[in-house]
């Protein structure tokens, strides 16, 4: 029987014999009666300090609102109305076409994240233009070039040539 059970059984025995409350023992986990919480009283009357509201939700809502706003684009004599998000993407593509390396990086990252294959049309045109013989020559060339940059797989010695044979170590 645990010590706590012994204490509770001793307390109940003392209550029944004398009819009065037994003497309260102060110790670890048993504070004096005057410092214990009173029934119905909170352990933290002042309460926890309020957290400052985060601005993440406000920023997200502001960004969504700004991207949904309409913008008027002029292309020659024509004007057309698009969302700010569309205008931003068109501006990034225009910078990419001009050779901006940051726009290229951002465009490739965005296309990869969205699952867009930027070179699908070019691959199809190349496959249609090549004869099967030319395609085989091109594939062989690409394989040779990849072998130059991809490190070869590691070759391990046969187990019988290794000094750290587990069977020999068991016998020692």
In tens, the pLDDT along 31-83 reads: 888 888 888 777 777 777 777 877 777 888 898 999 999 989 888 889 999 99
Are 70 and 82 in contact by the 8 Å Cβ rule? The answer is yes
Residues in the chain: 172
81 lies in the same domain as 126? no
Are 33 and 24 in contact by the 8 Å Cβ rule? The answer is yes
90 lies in the same domain as 105? yes
How large a percentage of the chain has pLDDT more than 70? 79
59 lies in the same domain as 96? yes
Q: Across the chain, which distance is largest between two alpha carbons, in Å? A: 108
How large a percentage of the chain has pLDDT more than 90? 24
Candidates 76, 71, 97, 75; CA nearest to 86 is: 71
Q: Which domain holds residue 142?
A: 119-150
More confident residue, 106 or 154: 106
Return the minimum-mean-pLDDT range out of 19-23, 29-33, 118-122, 144-148: 19-23
Angle between the N-to-C axes of helices 84-98 and 56-68, in degrees from 0 to 180, rounded to the nearest 10: 80
114 lies in the same domain as 60? yes
- Is 142 part of any domain? yes
69 lies in the same domain as 81? yes
Q: Name the domain count of the chain.
A: 2
130 lies in the same domain as 112? no
pLDDT score of 22 more than 80: no
Start-to-end CA span in the chain (Å): 50
- Is 100 part of any domain? yes
pLDDT band at 1 (very low <50, low <70, confident <90, very high): very low
pLDDT score of 3 more than 60: no
| Token pair in block for residue 125 | 């045109």
More confident residue, 24 or 150: 24
- Is 89 part of any domain? yes
- Is 127 part of any domain? yes
């Amino acid at each position: 029987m645990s010590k706590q059970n012994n204490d509770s059984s001793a307390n109940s025995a003392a209550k029944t014999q004398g009819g009065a409350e037994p003497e309260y023992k102060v110790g670890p986990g048993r504070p004096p009666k005057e410092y214990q919480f009173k029934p119905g009283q909170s352990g933290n009357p002042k309460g926890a300090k309020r957290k400052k509201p985060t601005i993440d939700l406000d920023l997200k809502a502001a960004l969504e609102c700004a991207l949904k706003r309409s913008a008027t684009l002029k292309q020659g004599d024509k004007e057309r109305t698009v969302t700010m998000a569309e205008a931003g993407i068109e501006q990034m593509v225009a910078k990419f076409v001009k050779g901006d390396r940051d726009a290229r990086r951002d465009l490739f990252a965005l296309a990869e994240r969205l699952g867009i294959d930027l070179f699908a049309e070019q691959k199809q045109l190349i496959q249609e233009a090549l004869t099967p013989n030319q395609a085989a020559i091109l594939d062989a060339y690409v394989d040779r070039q990849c072998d130059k940059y991809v490190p070869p797989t590691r070759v391990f010695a046969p187990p019988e040539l290794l000094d750290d044979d587990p069977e020999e170590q068991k016998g020692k």
